Structure 1
């Protein structure tokens, strides 16, 4: 697949290549974090390492920016198995390489989409079987728990965007031009 950047055609990695890039980057990061922890330069709890790893893997394999192509064959959609069908509306809502490929809003749209699906399922369960006790999120949720999740998830997304040649101001430039009337 080729995508136009600044008037030129640039090759864009396949889903498999994106996954390999993220796996390689994770390997380097994990080795660096292990070394830094052993040198007492960094303190990482097992829970923080697990949260980072789970979020990074989810961002790499399940919540890729390419879910905006979910009407077609996308690796991330296939990784969801039969639940991949849930991502077709997301693909219809977002044009490929539009807001879903922005650095902050794009990953947030996928998190909000997952939250919406979870809320719908929870609402349906409560309606159909109100006696069922659903698990609750412990309150308050500490930053030391959430931060590794966010860093792992966003880092996996940003590596995908870097490989696609998407600049950090993607989407903002387009919105700015619309405001200025260009």
Structure 2
């Protein structure tokens, strides 16, 4: 299995090739859909790697979170390595769901502190059109799928496991 550096090199090479093709066909780097795609792809590559399920050893993605990387330890306890977290559809969703729970908890905490201090607090998501969010999701999923393909896990790997005689 490739190391974290190799996974990152594969993902960056693919993104660089896609960006070159996009620009060669007249695409603009300031296009919100392209920017959302690229940012989500990079976030999926560097911060939300499928290897976050390795709780016993600090993985590169977990270290990039700094002190907040400790919050990803329970994710590793919930999912065994190369289990559900390494599937093509549910795996990336588990990381997005876990991230949503983490952010919701931090937001709740921030609101409580702000209320205690008597400060106004509000958070609003950017008013992006739905297709921009779709391109962000596509970028995130493609980064995850390249990681899984580099690990030798194809979309049908769960089906093969089910077909094996017991």
d(CA) in 1 for partners of 2:44 and 2:152? Answer: 18
Is the 8 Å Cα contact of residues 29 and 35 (structure 2) preserved in structure 1? no
| TM-score, normalised relative to structure 2 | 0.88
Q: Give TM-score, length-normalised by structure 1.
A: 0.81
Aligned residues: 163
Looking at structure 2, the residues matched to 170 and 113 of structure 1 have their Cα atoms a distance apart, in angstroms, of 24
Query: Corresponding residue for 2:14?
Result: 25
CA shift for structure 1 position 172? 5.1
Q: Which has the higher strand share?
A: 1
Tell me the distance in 2 between the aligned counterparts of 1:150 and 1:72. Answer: 28
1:139-154 equivalences under 5 Å are 142-154=129-141
Match of 1:15 in 2: 4
Structure 1 residue matching 2:19: 3-state secondary structure: helix
- 1:54-109 per-residue CA deviation (whole Å, 9 max, x = no partner) reads 10100000000000003312111111111111110000000000000000100000
Mapped contact 1:37–1:44 kept (Cα < 8 A): no
Residues of 2 paired with 1:98 and 1:16: CA distance?
21
Aligned residues of 1:98 and 1:171 also touching (Cα < 8 A): no
Give the Å deviation of 1:53. 1.0
Question: Which consecutive unaligned segments of at least 5 residues does structure 2 have?
Answer: none
- In structure 1, list runs of 5 or more residues that go unmatched: 1-11
Structure-2 separation of matches of 1:67 and 1:156: 14
Q: Does 1:125 align with 2:110?
A: yes
